[in-house]
Amino acid sequence: MADHTTLPHRFFLSISLLSILTVSQPDLTKELVSLRSSSESGVIRLSDDTVSKFITSVSTPRPYSLIIFFNSVELNSNPLQEFRREFAFVSASFIANNNNRSDVANKVFFCEIDESSDSEAFGLFGIQFLPQICLVDPLMENLQDKTGRMEEEDVDGTAESVVEFIESRTNLTVGPLHRPPLLSKTQISVIVALIAISTPFLIKKVLKGETVLHNSRVWLFCTVLVYFFSVSGTMHNIIKGMPMFVRDHQDSNKLVFFYKGENFQLGAEGLSVGLLYNVVGLLLAYVTNALVRVRSVSGQRVFMMLAMVVSLLAVKKVVYLNSWKTGYEIQTYWPSSWH
Amino acid sequence: MAAVESLPPGTPSAMRNAFGTVLSALILVLIGVLAFSIRLFSVIKYESVIHEFDPYFNYRVTQFLSKNGIYEFWNWFDDRTWYPLGRVIGGTVYPGLTLTAGTIWWVLNAINIPLSVETVCVFTAPVFSAFASWATYLLTKEVKGSGAGLAAAALLAMVPSYISRSVAGSYDNEAVAIFALIFTFYLYIKTLNTGSLFYATLNAIAYFYMVCSWGGYTFIINLIPMHVLLCIVTGRYSPRLYIAYAPLVVLGTLLAALVPVVGFNAVLTSEHFASFLVFIIIHVVALVYYIKGILTPKMFKVAVTLVVSIGLVVCLIVVAVLVALVASSPTGGWSGRSLSLLDPTYASKYIPIIASVSEHQPPTWPSYFMDINVLAFLVPAGIIACFSPLSDASSFVVLYIVMSVYFSGVMVRLMLVLAPAACIMSGIALSQAFDVFTGSIKYQLSSKSKDDAEDNTSTKNAPKDDASSGKADKGEEVAKERLSKKGKKKEREPAEKPSVKSKIVKKKALVLPLEASIVALLLLIMLGAFYVIHCVWAAAEAYSAPSIVLTSQSHDGLHVFDDFRESYAWLSHNTDVDDKVASWWDYGYQTTAMANRTVIVDNNTWNNTHIATVGTAMSSPEKAAWEIFNSLDVKYVLVVFGGVIGYPSDDINKFLWMVRIGGGEFPHIKEADYLRDGQYRIDSEATPTMLNCLMYKLCYYRFVETDGKGYDRVRRTEIGKKHFKLTHFEEVFTSHHWMVRIYKLKPQKNRIRGRVKKLKQKTSSGVSSKSVKKNPWM
C-alpha cells in the first residue's frame, strides 16, 4: 500500500526531471504522437519491437508515461473486447479534453498489447490474468513490478474505473468522458419525423380497427410468450447475468446445463423447464379446443394418446427435476398402516 | 341462469337449476372450510402464536387500537422505535389489517365472545383466505361461468403461494389484501358486464379497502387503466367500460387520498399517473362515440378530424405536464420498489436495502413449481380458453396474468399476486377440459344405450349437435348471460349480438373418443390429486414454521428452540423500561412488541441513514462501535447467532448486507476489507477487519468454550479468532442454544481515567470525576 501513496510523488519527480531530459529524446515523443494520431481513438498498438523501442531501451526517466491495455483477440471474450472499447473511449476523451495542451497530452499515451500477435512483449510484463491495465511511468524499470498495475478488484470493465486509475496514479485529469450517443442526431430526427408522419395514419387505422392489435391471435401469442419467459425465470438470468450453461469443473469438455441448488439457475435450464411447463397446457388447450373439431376418430385417438404421454412425461420430468434441484421430498400422507 | 335458455322450460330444468345452486353453495362452504383449515397446521404443530417479524408490529398496533380506540391510534406517535427519531404510526401504516382485526375483536366482544386480541390476530388470515376463495369464485364466474368459478375457488383455497402468507399467525397485510384485490377485480368485471353504477360505487369502496390494506394497490390502479386502454385500442369501447372506469378513478382517488399513508401521493406520484392519463383518453373516446351517434357519417368524418386533433393536443399537454412533474422529482416520482419492477436491475445497483431482502430477488423455475405447482402447467390452456372467445372480462384476466407473471419474474414476493391469476386461469382450463371430457363420455354412453337415435343421418355429427345443447354452450354461457343482462339495461350495441350468436350457431360441440376421454379424465384427476398433496405438504411442512419458535427433528426426537422468546422475555424482565436496544433491523419489530423496549431501527426501513449507522457500528471495531452506540443512548446490543445449532439466517450471514448498507452512507466502510479474494469467510483466512469488527466479536465471544474448537456449524468451519476479550462491551445474556446474545455497553471508564490523568498532569489539581459527562457527544 505504501507504494501507491508514493506513486504520484514519483510521477511529479519524473515530470520535473523530464523537462530537462525531453530535449534529448524529443523524437521518441514525436513518433508516439504521430503513431497516436494515425491510430483509431488514439490507442497505439505496441508490437515486440516498439515495446523495446519505447520502453525497455529508453533510459529512465522516460519523457512520457504509457498506459497499456493487455488484450487478447484470440481469447474471443466479449467482456474483454467491451472493456477494450471502454478503454478507447477514455483515450479519445483524454485527447479531446487536452487537445490544446500538448504538455499534458504528450505526457501520457494509451497503448495496447495483443497477446496473440505480440506474445514476447506480452511476456515481458508477466501478466497472469486478463483484463489488465498497467501504467508504465517514466521511472519504471522492472516491467514485472506490480505497483503500476490496476488492482484486481478495481478492474470492472468500465471506462470510469480506468479514469479513476489514471487520475489516482498520475495527478492528471482525464476530464469528462465522451461516449458516442446511442443514436446520432440525424438518426433521432429521422425517427421523430417518421413517428410524427405516421401518427395520423396510425390513429386512422386504430379508429377503423385494422391494426395487428385487433388480431387476437397476436395477443394470444404474446401472452403465451410472456408467460413462457416468466416461468422459465428469464428475469433471474438477466438480472443475475447467468450464462446459458457452464463448463464442468472437473472435465472441461463436459457442459453443465442444470445447476443443483434452489437459488440459482442456468439459462438453458430455465428455458427447457419453461418449455415443459408450457407444453402440457398447450396440448390440453389443443385437445379441448381444436381436436374436438377433427372429424377422424382414429386421428383424435392417436393424437390424444400422444398428447397424454407427452404431458405425463413432462410433468414427471419437472417433478423429478424439482426434487433433484431443491432436495425437497414431498410427503404423500398415506395412512401409516399402508406402509 | 343462462343454462335455462338452452334447456327446455319446465319443472325438470328448474329443479336442476335449483339443485345446481344449492350444490354450488354447499361446495363453496366446503371450499371456505378447506381454505380455513389447511392454514391451521401452524397452530396444531406449534401453538397459537404470531409469526415472524412484521406480524408482530401489526399485532402491537392492533393491541394499541383495541386498548385506546381509533382516534388515539390515528394520532399515535411511537417513541419506542427509531430512537431518537420515533415514528408516526397512524400516518405511516396501512391501517386496513389492524382496523379489520380490531373490528372483528370489538364485534366478538360486543356479543360476549371474549377472545383475546392475539387469537383474533392469529386467525384473521385464515378467515380472509376463505373470503378470498369466495371472491375468486365470483370473479371467475363473471368470466367463464360457475363451473370454472368453483374450480378456481378450490384451487385458490390451497394455492401454496397464498398459504405462505396466510397461515394462522401470519398476521400481515397481504392476508387481507389478496381478498381485497380479487374482490376489487370482481366488482370491476361485474360493473363491466352489467354497466351498473351500483357496482361501480362498490368497486370504488373495495378499492378503498385495498388501499387501506396494502401498498400493492398500485397494481390495481395500473392494471385497470391498462385494461381500459386495451379495450379502447382494440375497439371494444362501450358505455359499460366508461361506467366501470370513470367512477373508480374519481371516487377511488378521493377515497385513497383519505388514507394517511397515501394522502396526496394518490395524485402526485407516477404510480397513479397512468390512471389519470387513461381517464382523459376515455373521455376523448367517449366524446368521439357520442358525436358519432348524433351526426351523419359525412358530418362525422369532418368532426372526427377536429376532435382527434383537439384530443391529441390535450393529451400532449397533459403528457408534457406529467413528464415535467416526473422529471422534477429525484427518483422520477417512482418509489424504489416500483422502479425495480420496471428496470429489474435498478435495485441491485442502487438500493442495497431493497436488494438485501430475499423476497425481492427474482425467482428461479423451482419457485414457480413450489408456489403454484401444477397450475404452471394449466395456465397456458386457461389463457387459450380465455381467447376463445375474447370478451371484456376474459381479456381482463388475460391482462392480469400477463402483468402478474411478469412482475413475479422480477420479484419473488409478487408471486402472491400471480397466485390468484394462475388459479383463475387453471380453474378455467380445468373446467373446460372436464366439460369436454365428461361431455364426450356422457354423450357416447347415452348414445350407445339408445341406439335407435332419431336422426341417424350422419351417425357422428348429428348427436354432437345434441350434445352441444347440453354442455358445450357452457363456454358461451357467460357471453349469453351478459347479453341477457345487457338486454335488460338496453345498453347493448347492435353490432355485438349477431356476432356472438353466429359464433354459437357455427360452433359445434364435437366429441372425443370415449376411452381416450376416460384416460384423460383420470390423468387430470391425478394431476389435481398431486396438487392437493403438494399443497398440504407445503402448508404442513414448508410454510407453517412461525420462525419465532424453531424445531428440528433428529434421531433422538424433536428439538424445540425457543431462544427468541426466552431472550425477549429476559430483556423485558431484566432491563429498565426505557433502555435502548440495538440490533439489526430484522429484530426491531419483535423487540418492541415482545420485550417492549426501545429500538434504534426496525423492519419499517424508512430511514436508510439510520440503518446505515447501525450497520456501520456492527462493521466497526469495538471502540468505534461503542462510540456510535453510545451516541445513540444504546444500553444493550442484541445479536442473533446460529453457529452453535446451525441456524443459517443469523447475523453473520446477513453481515455483508450490513457492510454494504453501512458503506453506502459512510464510505470508510468498504466491502472489500471484509472479503478475502472476493470470498466472505470467518475462518483463519478472514481479513483482520472482519475478525476485529463488532459483529464478529459479539457473535463469537466465548464461542470456543462450547466445543473447545470453535467450529461454526452454519459456515462449516473453525472460526479464525478464537480467544479474545471484549473491552467496551460485556456479555449479559446468552440464550439456551446461543441463538440470541445480548451485550451491555460498558460505562466509559478507560476514557475518564485517561482524561483525568492528563488533566492532573497539566494542572496538577484535583478534578472531580463528577464533571465527566456520560455521553461524549453532548
Question: Which pLDDT value is given to residue B9?
Answer: 52
As a whole number of Å, the CA-based R_g of chain B is 31
Would you kindly state where each structural domain of chain B is located, as residue ranges?
188-193+205-333, 559-745
Please, which pLDDT band fits residue B340 given cuts at 50, 70 and 90? low
Q: Choose the most confident range, by mean pLDDT, from A248-257, B73-82, B311-320.
A: B73-82
pLDDT, position B759: 54
Range name among A165-169, A204-208, B198-202, B600-604 with the lowest pLDDT average: A204-208
Could you say which residues from 444 to 463 on chain B have a Cβ atom under 8 Å away from some Cβ of chain A?
460
Put simply, the answer to whether A238 touches B235 (Cβ < 8 Å) is no
Beta-bridge partner residues of B580:
B598, B634
For residue B459, name the pLDDT band (cuts at 50, 70, 90): very low
- The predicted structure's pLDDT at residue A207: 66
pLDDT tens for B461-512 read 433 343 333 333 444 444 444 434 433 433 333 333 344 444 444 444 467 8
Q: Tell me the mean pLDDT in the region B601-626.
A: 90
Q: CA-based Rg of chain A, rounded to a whole angstrom?
A: 31
Query: Where residue A244 falls among pLDDT bands split at 50, 70, 90?
Result: confident
Cα separation, B191 vs B188, in Å, equals: 5
User: Which of B308, B377, B409 comes nearest A235 by C-beta?
Assistant: B409
What average pLDDT does range B396-422 have in this prediction? 92
Chain A residue with minimum CA distance to B358: A263
Mapped onto helix, strand or coil, the DSSP state of residue B489 is helix
- Rounded distance, CA B416 to CA B401, Å? 12
- From the number of C-beta atoms within 10 Å of its C-beta (0-12, 13-18, 19+), residue A66 rates as buried
- Cβ-based contacts of A267 with chain B (< 8 Å): none
Cell matching residue A150:
490496476
Closest CA to B691 of B721, B717, B718: B721
Residue B281: C-alpha distances to residues B197, B238, B274, B276 (Å): 20, 13, 11, 9
Q: What does pLDDT average to over chain B?
A: 83
Confidence band, pLDDT 50/70/90 cuts, at residue A330: confident
Report which of residues A146 and B108 the model is more confident about.
B108
Q: What is the pLDDT of residue A251?
A: 73
* E strands in B514-611: 550-554, 557-561, 580-582, 598-599
Q: Searching chain B, which residue's CA lies closest to the CA of residue A266?
A: B364
Determine the average pLDDT of the residues in B249-269.
91
- Beta carbons of A234 and B509 less than 8 Å apart: no
Q: Is the pLDDT of residue A107 over 50?
A: yes
Res B138 pLDDT > 70: yes
pLDDT at site B531: 94
Out of B382, B513, B534, closest to residue A301 by CB? B513
Give me the CATH code for the B559-745 domain, please.
3.40.50.12610
* pLDDT bucket at B455, cuts 50 / 70 / 90: very low
Residue B351: predicted pLDDT = 61
Phi, psi for residue A23 in degrees, rounded to 5? -60, -40
3-state secondary structure of B631: helix
The answer to whether the CB of B693 falls within 8 A of the CB of B620 is yes
Identify from B377, B465, B677 which residue to disrupt to test chain A contact, counting A C-beta atoms within 10 A and taking the largest count: B377
The confidence band for B584, taking pLDDT boundaries of 50, 70 and 90, is very high
- What does the pLDDT read at residue B211? 95
Name the grid cell of B5: 335458455
Does the distance separating the beta carbons of B377 and A281 come in below 8 Å?
yes
Range with top average pLDDT, A200-214, A318-332, B747-761 = A318-332
B8 secondary structure, DSSP code: P
Band (pLDDT 50/70/90 cuts) for residue B353 is low
Whether the Cβ atoms of residue B38 and residue B52 lie closer than 8 Å to each other: no
| For residues B635-648, average pLDDT | 91
Are A269 and B401 in contact (CB < 8 Å)? no
Closest residue to A325, CB basis, from B366, B405, B542: B366
Which residue of A1, A227, A320 is the best one to mutate when testing the B interface, meaning the one whose CB has the most B CBs within 10 A?
Answer: A227
pLDDT of residue A106: 75
Residues on chain B touching A319 (C-beta within 8 angstroms): 369, 530
**Cβ-nearest to A263 among B364, B435, B542:** B364
Task: Cell 436508510: give the residue.
Answer: B608
Q: Which of A227, A229, A315 sits opposite B380 (nearest CB)?
A: A227
Residue range A43-73, pLDDT digits in tens: 888 777 777 777 777 777 777 888 888 877 7
Distance from CA of A92 to the nearest CA of B (A): 28
- Complex confidence, ipTM: 0.79
Task: Please give the Cα distance from B378 to A280 (Å, whole number).
Answer: 7
Strand pairing of B580-582 and B598-599?
A: parallel
Phi-psi region of A108 (alpha: psi -120 to 50; beta: other; left: phi over 0): beta
Could you check whether the bond before residue B8 is cis, i.e. omega within 30 degrees of 0? Answer: no
DSSP summary character for residue B473: T
Q: How far is B409 from chain A (nearest CA, A)?
A: 5
Nearest CA in chain A to B430: A284
Within 13 A of B95's CA, how many CA atoms are on the CB side?
23
Q: What is the DSSP string of A106-126?
A: TTEEEEEEETTT-HHHHHHTT
Instruction: Give the pLDDT confidence score for residue B139 in this predicted structure.
Output: 96
CB pair distance less than 8 Å for B537 and A330: yes
The band of A193, judged by pLDDT with boundaries at 50, 70 and 90, is confident
Say what the pLDDT of residue A56 is. Answer: 75
The Cα of B403 is separated from the nearest Cα of chain A by a number of Å equal to 9
Report the distance separating Cα B335 and Cα B13, nearest Å: 56
Q: Which residue has the higher pLDDT, B300 or B213?
A: B213
pLDDT given at position A123: 74
- In the predicted structure, residue B2 carries a pLDDT above the cut 60: no
**If you average pLDDT over every residue of chain A, what do you get?**
78
The gap from C-alpha B546 to its chain's centroid, in whole angstroms, comes to: 18
Q: What gap in Å lies between CA B719 and CA B708, rounded to an integer?
A: 11
Contacts of A322 in chain B (CB under 8 A): 366, 369-370
DSSP B292-350: HHHS-HHHHHHHHHHHHHHHHHHHHHHHHHHHHHHHHSTTTT--HHHHHHHSTTHHHHH
Cβ neighbour number for residue B225 with a 10 Å cutoff: 23
Residue with cell 344449492: B22
Which pLDDT tens digit goes with each residue over B25-57? 999 999 999 999 999 999 998 889 998 888 999
Q: Which residue has the higher pLDDT, B37 or A37?
A: B37
pLDDT in the model for residue B371:
92
Q: What is the pLDDT of residue A158?
A: 74
Contacts of residue B193, defined as CB under 8 A and 6 or more positions apart, other chains included, come to B142, B240, B392, B393, B482, B485
Return the HEC string of chain A. CHHHHHHHHHHHHHHHHHHHHCCCCHHHHHHHHHHHHHCHHHEEEECHHHHHHHHHCCCCCCCCEEEEEEECCCCCCHHHHHHHHHHHHHHHHHHHHCCCCHHHHCCEEEEEEECCCCHHHHHHCCCCCCCEEEEECCCCCCCCCHHHECCHHHCCCCHHHHHHHHHHHHCCCCCCCCCCCCCCHHHHHHHHHHHHHHHHHHHHHHHHCCCHHHCHHHHHHHHHHHHHHHHCCHHHHHHHCCCCCEECCCCCCCEECCCCCCCCCCHHHHHHHHHHHHHHHHHHHHHHHHHHHCCCHHHHHHHHHHHHHHHHHHHHHHHHHHHHHHCCCCCCCCCHHHC
Q: Which residues of A touch B533 (CB under 8 A)?
A: 330, 332-333
CA distance B38 to B42: 9
- Per residue in B269-313, pLDDT (tens digit) is 878 888 998 998 899 889 878 877 887 777 777 777 776 777 778
Mean pLDDT of A131-139: 78
Closest CA of chain A from B214, distance in Å: 24
Residue B234: which of A214, A305, A331 has the nearest Cβ? A214
> CA-nearest residue of chain B to A207?
B235
Q: Tell me the per-residue pLDDT of B143-193, one tens digit each, with 9 for 90 and over.
A: 999 999 999 999 999 999 999 999 999 999 998 999 999 999 999 999 999
How far is CA B482 from each of CA B2, B143, B388, rounded to the nearest angstrom?
A: 9, 10, 16
Residues B465 and B658: their CA atoms lie apart, in Å, by 69
Answer for the pair B364, A233: CB distance below 8 angstroms, yes or no: yes
pLDDT(B661) > 70: yes
Going by their DSSP bridges, the two strands B550-554 and B557-561 should be labelled as antiparallel
The whole-number pLDDT of residue B347 equals 59
For residues A127 and B706, which has the higher predicted lDDT (pLDDT)?
B706
Q: Does B365 touch chain A (CB under 8 A)?
A: yes
